[in-house]
A and B are shown apart, each in its own frame.
Chain A
Amino acid sequence: MNFRIVRAIYAKEMLDMLRDRRALISMIVVPLVAMPGIFAVMHYFTENLSKKAQEESTRVGATAKISQPAIREALKNAGFELVPVSNPRTAVESKAVAAALDEDRGPANEDRVVIFVDRTREASSMAAEKITSALERLKLDQVKGSLRGLGVSERVLNPFSVTSSNVAPEKKMAGFILGSVLGYTVLLLMFTGGMYPAIDMTAGEKERHTLEPLLASPASREEIILGKILTTTTASFLTALLTIGSLLVSMQNLGLGQGGPEMENLVSRAAPDAGTVFLVLLTLLPTALFAASVMTAIALFARGFKEAQSMLTPVIMAVVIPAVVSLLPGLELNVGLALIPVFNVSQLIKEIILGEYSRLSFLTAFLSNVVYAGLAFWISVRIFKTESVLFRS
């Protein structure tokens, strides 16, 4: 292996790639524009939708059977607008009201208020929850009134109280969210960012007949493939870098969009320190190499650009699955799990950001990705030496 030749090929491929508009879009524009875009849209919708749901949820129906004036009073005090309805079910189904109240007899022959709710609608669920709590308060007040009438202290209702205190520091809470989102997004975009360069340098070269002079030059097959894989690795890693940067910036400026202002505050305070970012990037380095080698090996099989694209799209979908699995809370990386490509990285990133990774699983994940990348490189070279694949048309 002559590294001067590898460098010459790398330099050529980089120059070629940086002039390829398609590659630049998936590598640079997507992470820089799409990321803040997704956040802005998410933010806009959740904000607006919840505002809208809030407004809608105040309109509830009540049948004539709701006998106790106290109930109507309590609901009005809780901010509800009561609309008389004859059929509570259809009133909710037709969205005329967010929820509706009816009354019948319970198992102990007590008065029972029935809330009709459509759980698939946020406004309806919200209304039902608020009605329940308003009525629970009313019930409590009534019990307290009765107890007072009997001369019993209302303290019997509350012999002790229960509260929980979250020991996870705020940074950890935010890290959990950041880590989950980051690992998954970065991995996905690393694969899409490297996809066009990988295809262009393999199937694309076949299609444009530029491979022959290259193969007839003194460069060996290994040197050519290594130069190409390193270029795709650069593309993937660059995408990762831009994604992380843009994700951090959008998080701080736009919030997560979910979980309300409290969570937004948390996340905006969760900027990972330089050490954490460095560790994440270190984890992503062999991952970029792995992504590049796998995609190069696959794209080499294709006759042309389009075929390569349809071969690689399922691969990218397959990448998403293990990355999504690591979104599940409660999973912890052990040596066995650290051997699963893609999954190990998204999980490791989450743990690094939480500050809870173990050195052993870090090393296992790092080294296994290097080994997988080496394996994919070896396979690529084998494919590259197979005439029937290289010259088929």
Chain B
Amino acid sequence: MIQIQDLTKIFRDKKRGERAVVDHISFEVRDSEIFGLLGPNGAGKTTTLRMLATLLKPTSGRATVNGNDVTTAPAEVRRRIGFLSGDMGLYHRLTPREILRVFGRLNGLTEERLRARITEMVDMLHMEDFADTKVDQLSTGMRQRAALARTLLHDPPVLILDEPTSGLDVPTSRVIEEFILQAKRAGKCILYSTHVMEEAEFLCDRIAVINDGRIRIIGTMSELKAATGRERLREIFLDLLDNKVAGRVAP
């Protein structure tokens, strides 16, 4: 599980001075739960996920993954997460199978287990036709499946997914969604960022709306509706961005 307490990230640059990109946010994501982080571009979603994946160090506050602190035990954290971002980060000159081999080894899988897992992933994500084709010749949908396979390969208990369906067509998004639901059934703890409302509404057990680095509201879909008096997530979201509602439901 993921626990975040007063997590803050301040960026300093010469032009804009100090900016709190993530400003004292707190929430937790349990096992077998999909937690959606919803917000417009620049709200602080990616920075939050990057702190959890130990790519960025928090300025203050605490974040733990299965009890391991991201600041003091980053290596332990990285062993327990699968991280996927919208731009996938696949090596263009390698094939999906080669990429899986690299990341399996980085995650310390034995060669035997690595082979078994790769076969499993290729079967599960229907990658037989393109597992040995270089990534730069693959369609976006194929790439996203390869990226997902890389994320799940070492069977991490925690998944951190940063807009995993951005730029995908409906059928491919559907494949990804199915996998996220399947991972939830397998007991994984899933933190998921998006700005696609239907996706959040359909997938997430709980949702936090984040804007300007702060969490505006947090709760299950029905809690959100009750607190705002709105029916649709889109309306709740737009209201919050306009700051008409400053409600906050306890996590």
Q: Given B57, B93, B106, which contacts A16 in the complex, CB threshold below 8 Å?
A: B93
Q: How far is the CB of A275 from chain B (nearest CB, A)?
A: 39
Task: Decide if A106 is an interface residue (CB 8 Å cutoff).
Answer: no
**Once bound together, how far apart are the Cα atoms of A11 and B111, in whole Å?**
15
Among A1-9, A299-307, A367-375, the stretch in contact with B: A1-9
Q: Supply 15 A–B pairs (Cβ within 8 Å), ascending by A.
A: A4-B105, A8-B102, A12-B94, A12-B102, A15-B94, A16-B93, A16-B94, A19-B134, A209-B87, A209-B88, A209-B89, A211-B89, A218-B107, A387-B55, A387-B56
Count of chain A residues near B, Cβ 8 A? 27
**Once bound together, how far apart are the Cα atoms of A12 and B97, in whole Å?**
12
Among B74-82, B191-199, B203-211, B234-242, the stretch in contact with A: B74-82
**Once bound together, how far apart are the Cα atoms of A15 and B93, in whole Å?**
9
Task: Decide if A150 is an interface residue (CB 8 Å cutoff).
Answer: no
Asked whether B93 lies within 8 Å of A8 as measured between CB atoms, the reply is no
**Once bound together, how far apart are the Cα atoms of A84 and B137, in whole Å?**
76
Given A209-B87, A212-B55, A217-B103 contact (CB < 8 Å): yes
Q: Which 7 A-B pairs have the closest CB atoms?
A: A8-B105, A216-B83, A19-B93, A216-B53, A217-B106, A12-B102, A209-B87
Chain A minimum-CB-distance residue to B82: A216
Asked whether A5 lies within 8 Å of B105 as measured between CB atoms, the reply is yes
**Once bound together, how far apart are the Cα atoms of A9 and B94, in whole Å?**
13
Task: Decide if B45 is an interface residue (CB 8 Å cutoff).
Answer: no
Q: Given A19, A211, A220, A391, which contacts B56 in the complex, CB threshold below 8 Å?
A: A391
Task: Decide if A149 is an interface residue (CB 8 Å cutoff).
Answer: no
Give me 8 other A-B pairs in contact (C-beta within 8 A), A216-B78, A218-B107 excluded. A8-B105, A12-B98, A209-B89, A212-B83, A212-B89, A215-B54, A216-B53, A390-B55
Contacting residues of chain B (84-134) with chain A, CB-CB under 8 angstroms? 84-85, 87-94, 98, 102-103, 105-108, 134
Q: Which residues of A contact B75 (CB under 8 A)?
A: 218, 220
Q: How far is the CB of A213 from chain B (nearest CB, A)?
A: 4
> Which residue, B13, B55, B88, B106, has most C-beta atoms of chain A within 10 A?
B106
Asked whether B92 lies within 8 Å of A11 as measured between CB atoms, the reply is no
Q: Given A208, A217, A387, A391, which contacts B107 in the complex, CB threshold below 8 Å?
A: A217
Given A8-B106, A218-B106, A210-B78 contact (CB < 8 Å): no
Q: Which residues of A contact B53 (CB under 8 A)?
A: 212, 215-216
Task: Decide if B214 is an interface residue (CB 8 Å cutoff).
Answer: no
Task: Decide if A281 is an interface residue (CB 8 Å cutoff).
Answer: no
B residues contacting A by CB (< 8 A) are 13, 50, 53-57, 75, 78-79, 81, 83-85, 87-94, 98, 102-103, 105-108, 134, 147, 150, 160
Q: How far is the CB of B35 from chain A (nearest CB, A)?
A: 18
Asked whether A15 lies within 8 Å of B92 as measured between CB atoms, the reply is no
Q: Which residues of B contact A20 (CB under 8 A)?
A: 93
> Which residue, A11, A12, A15, A216, has most C-beta atoms of chain B within 10 A?
A216
Q: How far is the CB of B143 from chain A (nearest CB, A)?
A: 12
Task: Decide if A219 is an interface residue (CB 8 Å cutoff).
Answer: yes
Asked whether B108 lies within 8 Å of A218 as measured between CB atoms, the reply is yes
Asked whether A210 lies within 8 Å of B90 as measured between CB atoms, the reply is yes
Mark A372-391 against chain B: 1 for CB-CB distance below 8 A, else 0: 00000000000000011011
**Once bound together, how far apart are the Cα atoms of A8 and B92, in whole Å?**
18
Q: Which residues of B contact A5 (CB under 8 A)?
A: 105-106, 108
Q: Which residues of B contact A220 (CB under 8 A)?
A: 75
Asked whether A11 lies within 8 Å of B102 as measured between CB atoms, the reply is yes
Q: How far is the CB of B3 from chain A (nearest CB, A)?
A: 19
Asked whether A9 lies within 8 Å of B106 as measured between CB atoms, the reply is yes
Asked whether A15 lies within 8 Å of B79 as measured between CB atoms, the reply is no
**Once bound together, how far apart are the Cα atoms of A182 and B135, in whole Å?**
41
Chain A minimum-CB-distance residue to B80: A218
Asked whether B103 lies within 8 Å of A213 as measured between CB atoms, the reply is yes
Q: Which residues of B contact A216 (CB under 8 A)?
A: 53-55, 78, 81, 83, 160
Q: How far is the CB of B32 from chain A (nearest CB, A)?
A: 22
Asked whether A208 lies within 8 Å of B103 as measured between CB atoms, the reply is no
Q: Which residues of B contact A212 (CB under 8 A)?
A: 50, 53, 55, 83, 85, 89
Given A8-B106, A209-B85, A218-B79 contact (CB < 8 Å): yes
Q: How far is the CB of B71 from chain A (nearest CB, A)?
A: 13
Q: Given A208, A215, A218, A388, which contacts B55 in the complex, CB threshold below 8 Å?
A: A215
